[in-house]
Structure 1
């Protein structure tokens, strides 16, 4: 191999672990009885969303920063990132007294921009993609003499991220599989080097969002075509690092694809079952397991919850969409003649069925029904979809035919 990959070995990861110990949290790796029951696998979750910056990215960032020369520390560092690498670099650079500049694309969630600024870094918003942000960061590094801290294609970064695997195998030594989110590839490469050195038979699976499958395409000899707006912006990366892809070709079993809807379901499941908040990228591993349970049935599986930095408005939307998918929140359309008392009658039937009314509105103008008829729109909360079907039967029996308006 001609890339940086040969420079990374188990010894480098162990040295990184010693170097960052005490400054980066050793996060819990806990067995989930409920997720194990749901999937047919024995599931352990590695809670990297418990890091101070709520992401594993601290590991590699700190390992890199601690290896800078005195001159490099004085000049300062620059990084490009959609959020978590930015926070890791900004936080530890500020803690170590190293000036930091972070270039972030316009797609970066505001919560991540706010946190980076709070850590004392200079933030530059540039470009619609990481590639465009990287171009700006390289130009600033050259113009201002700053040290460029790459988010994934750097041996120090990869070794730092690999410390996560050391912890997981110490905390859950029976693990047979690891499922790891893939953005640029630094995390899975570092973990693969460490984990396979310690346990050669262990299987490592990457996970990419369906819109950004660069590693999958490269590993399967396909032309790389990616793009679009993904809920997993932390792994919405166009280009895989050269060193990570070389490691992946040798040590990674396969790359799984997580659909956007699967990632949303995983975020909801982690909130409801594990009472923990993850961002889209952080939930991708569970999304892959839920979508491909047959590949892991009966095996001991470790899933990396890589980050928890999700915008609160987006989280609220994902949770509400989850209620809609499960039939616990629905919009029903009741058809009726436009006569006094029909709204009260419909509301009475809904209440008698044990269904809660959240919102209600009359629709007389934008409808194909007769001018003497009306549509009454109810947003209702039910136990599940079967409960909604019972409600439709009750409304029909009362002379108020209704339908559920399904989301697109």
Structure 2
């Protein structure tokens, strides 16, 4: 999948591409067949673009998908999908794709944690001017700033861990498991069938959530918690890389940061694109919440449908920003001499609070202890 107007989209790989969603739907149908004791090695070699073109007729991709899947698997054509409804297949396919996205993000967050821990430790003594409301405030260290970034990334990791265990969504036509019950012979057997399908897919089992969309809003919120943390980092790097500040810079890369008109430019492209994702993500999560709040009856008319592309867009953009942030932090250049020069030039004004407090030291407070706390948290140790 490529997106000309979202530079870097290729970093997200196959996450939530049309082909991956189709593959996930095949997995759901196969798991349902396997749980019922039928042949489940389904063939699905059909044209995804043609499938997309036929989707409008039924309002969702499952209807034309089943037509093609049955044609490709005539031996199970009559048993395929029996007991399920379109929402079961599509919701669970999106769960599978969301979990793959969470796994991708977890790896990128791990890289970020390592890079930030190194920056915090390496620069715990690198003094610089703290800024509040855009103005010089008091002395601080870049190590403490990096520790603050690290805390934000660890918050994002916690949010992702809390949302990543998305469950299967199977409820039948109206969430009552009526068809599965008729198929299995009893309510208990129907619930067992759902649990068996979940086990094949490696998902937790739970009652239908076809109109209670917290699993999807929770994962969307986790994605935004990630982009919030990365946006903060990108904003600080963008400020620090202004020529008149010159304290931070991105690692140079072939073909990156140039201008079509000005040969002198070296734009901080990674930070710019990460900030872009941080600005774009919250409205997408808001759409997921709006859809959840507008769910009606046993399957909503429109609010269910708006989730699909919204979740895909949010997931892919978060994955792109995750990889870009990891690369940014792993290559970030810190100009300690420029930081020291800026701090010196800010005196005596920047020491006004220190003088008022009668402090004769460096006025760095508990910076070392705060850095240690962030590093301990990163290592899973009690703070």
Q: Same fold (TM over 0.5)?
A: no
Q: Which has the higher strand share?
A: 1
Higher relative contact order (CA 8 A, sep 6+): 2
TM-score, normalization by structure 2: 0.24
Q: Which has the higher helix share?
A: 2
